[in-house]
Structure 1
Amino acid sequence: MTTADEALAAAYAHGPGRVVEPGASPPAAAPAGPRVPLTALRGRFGAALGRLLTDVATPLRWEPWNQYNDHRSYPSARAAATVELVLEGRWVLDPVRRALVGGGTPVVDGPARIDLVRRRDRLSPGYREFGDVLTELEVGHVAAALVEHAARLGLAARAAGSTVTVAFGDVTDPVPVPPRSSGVGPRGVAADPRPLPRRVLDAVVEAVDRPPAGSPVRDDLRHRLAVRNVEGVTDGWYALEGGLRLVSPGPAVAGLAPVFGHPAGTIHVASMNLALVTTGDPAAAVAADGPDGYRALLRAAGATAQHVCAAAAGTGAFCRPARSTHDGPLEALVGAPASHALLYLLLVGRPRGAGFTYDLTPLEAR
C-alpha cells in the first residue's frame, strides 16, 4: 500500500530532470473470450450504454497520414490507449471490435459500473516512472469524456477515483460527439495564422469554469492561460478564476518556446493562439486526501483538459495536450507557487487544414 511519503517521492520524481528514452510502445492485445457486440445491448439503458461506450472509447476516425492515426474522443500519449474499460468488473471492452468480452450477459438495465483500469504497460518502457503520469492523466480524460457524453445520451455519470457509475438521467435527444483533434500534423502541428475567433476563447474559459456534474475535477488546480492573436483580446497571461483576468500583457505564447520540449518543426508552440498551463500542490493534496491525493490531482487535470478539448472541438479548433516541457522554467513563467508542480499544458488553435480521414463512427450516430 502506498504511503504519503511514497506518493510525494513519486510526484517529485515526475518533475524536472526526468528521463524519457525513445522506443516503441508494445501493441495492445485484444481481450480473449466470448464477445457481445455493443449494438446487442437491449433496452433503453442498454442501447444508451452501448452508444456511450462506442462514442467515447472506440476509434472514431483513421488518419492515414498521421504518425498516430487511431483517434478517439480523448487523447492518449502515443495513441497507446493506456486505460482499459471494464464493465461491472467482468466484461472488458474490446474497442476495435466494439464488443464486451466476458462470460454471461452484460448488465443492460442500469445502473452500471465502469472501472478504468490502468495499462501503463502499453507505453514504451523508456517512459520509466513518467508513464504513470501520462496514464493517470488519461484516466482523467476518459472519466470526463464518459461524464460529459453521458449527459448527451440521457444518462447521468459520476466519477469517483478510477470508477465511473452510469445511470439513467434526463431524457434528451442524442447529440453527436464533436470531432476532437490534436492538430493536423503530417509536417508539424501549427495553428492557422489568422486571428482566432473570440468564441473559441470563451468556450475554453467556460469549460474550465463550469465542468459538468460528476466530473473528477478539483478546485485546487491553478490555471494560467496564454493568449495570442484572438479577436478583440489583448495578448498576455490570464488567470482563470471564475472568469478571465489579465495578469500580464505581452507576448505570452512566444515565451513558451524556450521551455517547450519539441522543436518548431514538430509542434510550433509559438504559433498557437491559446496555451493553458495547469499546476497543483502535491503535498497539500496528499495532506488533504491521503496517498491518492497526487494521482487525484493528475486525474483532475486530465478531466479539465478533456472538457477543454471538447469545447475546442465544438468551435472547430484543435487542442493539443502536452507534457514535453522543461517543468521548472515553465512553472516560473506562470508564477506558480513554490509548492506547485506542473500537471498539464494544452495548446489550442485553428487547424491549418482538415487532412484526409476515414470516419469510423457508426452510421446511426452520424
Structure 2
Amino acid sequence: MNPDDVNPDATPRDAALAAAYAHGPGRLVEPGASPRAGSTPGPRVPLTALAAHSRFGAALAHLLTDVATPLRWEPWNQYNDHRAHPSARAAVTVDLVLAVGSRRWPLDPVRRALVGDEPPAPDGAARVELVRRRDRLSPGYREFGDVLTELEVGHVAAALVEHAARLGLRARATGTTVTVTSDRETGDPAAPLPRRSSGVGPRGIAADPRPLPASALHAVVEAVNDPPAGSPVRDDLRHRLAVRNVAGVEDGWYAVSGGLRLVEPGPAVARLQPVFGHPPGTLHVASVNLALVTTGDPAAAVAADGPDGYRALLRAAGATAQHVCAAAAGAGAFCRPARSTDDGPLEALAGAPASHALLYLLVAGRSRGTGFTYDLTPLETR
C-alpha cells in the first residue's frame, strides 16, 4: 500500500500506521504468477575483475558472489534457484548496486557480473545499495508485497553483514545501504558460508521424526541474542519459540530474548498447523522441531523513528530471521520463513501483547533427506 493513498489529509505517520495495519488480519492475497525479471542492459564486467585491483576488491567480489548470486539448483524443487538468503516465491525482490565514490554498478547476479563499461576500483571501502523490486511479485499480493520485500531487504542486509566478517571485511547496514570496509582483524577461511535450506520436500516438507539435537536449539537462541555488529536488528522485537521433540528439552513455548525460558509447557508446535496458510501436504508444520514467532509494535516504532519505523521493524525481523537461518544451517537443520498465516490466532498462540502485530514466522527442523542438487558455487571459492 502506498501510504500517500491512504488519506490525502493523513500525516505521514498516520499513513504509515494505516499501511501497517492493512498488512495484518483480513488482508487479501490472490494467487498468480510472478512477472519474469528482465536483465539490465549494458556491458558486463565480471566480478572477478575486482580481484585484480586489491585484496579488498577480491574479498568484496567473494562477498557479492556468495550472498547475492545463485549457489545451487534443485531440479525437483518448485523454486529451484537457491541463494544465501530466502526470497518469497524465489522472486528475488532486492537488487544490489555496488557504489564506489559517486559511481554505481548494478549487479547481474546470474552472470556474476557488474553492469558497466569499466571495473570499479574500490580502495578499502564501498557501498552496496539494496534496491526494492516489489514489481517482481505477483500483483495478487497487492500491498502485502511491500511486507515481503522489506523482510527480504533485512535478509540481504544481514547476510552481507554476517558473511563480511568471514572474509576479513566489516559491514554495517543503515536503511537500504550496507557500507563495506576492510577489517584485517576478522576473517576465517575455515568458516564457509552455511548451506542454507528451506527444507527438502518434493512431496511436501516435513521434519525428520528423530529428536533434534539440543545444540541446534541453542544455536538458534544464540543467533537471536547475539547478532553480528552492523546488522539492522532491533531490540524492540518480541520472539517466542515453540519447541517440539528436542533432545532433553520440554515441549512448549519459550521466551528467547536474554536466554531460553519456558513460559508455557505443552504441545505448542502442533497448535500452529491450523493457523498456517498451507495444508500439511505442502508443509507439515506440526512435524517441525522449532517455530519462532516474531512480533513488534508498529505504533511504537513509528512514534520512535518516524514514518519509516514500520518498514525498519520489518527489515529488523528479516535480519534476525537471516541470522537464525544461518545458525540452523550450521547446525544441520532447515529453516523456512513464512508469512502465509492467520495472523490474529498466531499472535494469540504466541501470547503477543495487544499492540503487537505479527512480523514473521520461521519453522525449523532436520530434513528427511538431502535431495539432488547442482552446485553452482564458483570453483575458486570451494
Q: TM-score scaled by structure 1?
A: 0.99
Q: Determine the structure 2 residue equivalent to 1:274.
A: 290
Aligned-partner Cα distance in 1 for 2:199–2:76? 12
Find the partner of 1:22 among 28, 31, 34. 31
Checking the alignment, whether the CA contact within 8 Å between 2:49 and 2:119 is kept in structure 1 is no
Pairing 1:1-366 to 2, within 5 Å after superposition: 3-41=12-50, 42=52, 43-88=54-99, 90-169=104-183, 170-174=185-189, 175-366=191-382
Pairs aligned (count): 366
Aligned-partner Cα distance in 2 for 1:303–1:55? 17
Checking the alignment, whether the CA contact within 8 Å between 1:176 and 1:365 is kept in structure 2 is no
Aligned-partner Cα distance in 2 for 1:164–1:171? 18
Aligned-partner Cα distance in 2 for 1:54–1:324? 30
Aligned-partner Cα distance in 1 for 2:328–2:357? 25
Aligned-partner Cα distance in 1 for 2:85–2:333? 15
* Structure 1 residue 32 displacement after superposition: 1.2
The one-letter code of the counterpart of 2:206 is A
Aligned-partner Cα distance in 2 for 1:264–1:281? 31
SS of 2:253 mapped into structure 1: strand
* Structure 1 residue 110 displacement after superposition: 2.6
The one-letter code of the counterpart of 2:109 is P
* Structure 1 residue 109 displacement after superposition: 1.5
Checking the alignment, whether the CA contact within 8 Å between 2:224 and 2:257 is kept in structure 1 is no
The one-letter code of the counterpart of 2:344 is G
Aligned-partner Cα distance in 2 for 1:356–1:268? 21
Aligned-partner Cα distance in 2 for 1:185–1:18? 28
SS of 1:157 mapped into structure 2: strand
Question: Per-residue CA shift, 1:334-362, capped at 9, x if unaligned?
Answer: 11111100000000000000000000001
User: Which stretches in structure 2 are left out of the alignment for 5+ residues?
Assistant: 5-11
Q: Determine the structure 1 residue equivalent to 2:7.
A: none
Aligned-partner Cα distance in 2 for 1:107–1:9? 44
Checking the alignment, whether the CA contact within 8 Å between 1:93 and 1:100 is kept in structure 2 is yes
* Structure 1 residue 146 displacement after superposition: 0.1
Stretch of structure 1 that moved more, 27-36 or 265-274: 27-36
* Structure 1 residue 102 displacement after superposition: 2.2
* Structure 1 residue 163 displacement after superposition: 0.4
| Aligned-residue CA RMSD (Å) | 1.0
Aligned-partner Cα distance in 2 for 1:237–1:105? 52
Identical counterparts, % of pairs: 82
Q: TM-score scaled by structure 2?
A: 0.94
* Structure 1 residue 34 displacement after superposition: 1.3
* Structure 1 residue 193 displacement after superposition: 0.3
The one-letter code of the counterpart of 1:204 is V
* Structure 1 residue 107 displacement after superposition: 3.4
Aligned-partner Cα distance in 1 for 2:214–2:256? 16
Checking the alignment, whether the CA contact within 8 Å between 1:87 and 1:113 is kept in structure 2 is yes
Aligned-partner Cα distance in 1 for 2:60–2:268? 43
User: Which stretches in structure 1 are left out of the alignment for 5+ residues?
Assistant: none
SS of 2:362 mapped into structure 1: strand
Aligned-partner Cα distance in 1 for 2:296–2:137? 25
* Structure 1 residue 103 displacement after superposition: 3.8
SS of 1:90 mapped into structure 2: strand
Checking the alignment, whether the CA contact within 8 Å between 2:165 and 2:186 is kept in structure 1 is no
Question: Per-residue CA shift, 1:293-344, capped at 9, x if unaligned?
Answer: 0000000000000000000000110000000000011111111111100000
Aligned-partner Cα distance in 1 for 2:199–2:165? 26
Question: Per-residue CA shift, 1:127-146, capped at 9, x if unaligned?
Answer: 00000000000000000000
Checking the alignment, whether the CA contact within 8 Å between 2:172 and 2:179 is kept in structure 1 is yes
Aligned-partner Cα distance in 1 for 2:342–2:291? 15
Aligned-partner Cα distance in 1 for 2:124–2:65? 17
The one-letter code of the counterpart of 1:274 is L
Aligned-partner Cα distance in 1 for 2:187–2:295? 36
The one-letter code of the counterpart of 1:27 is R
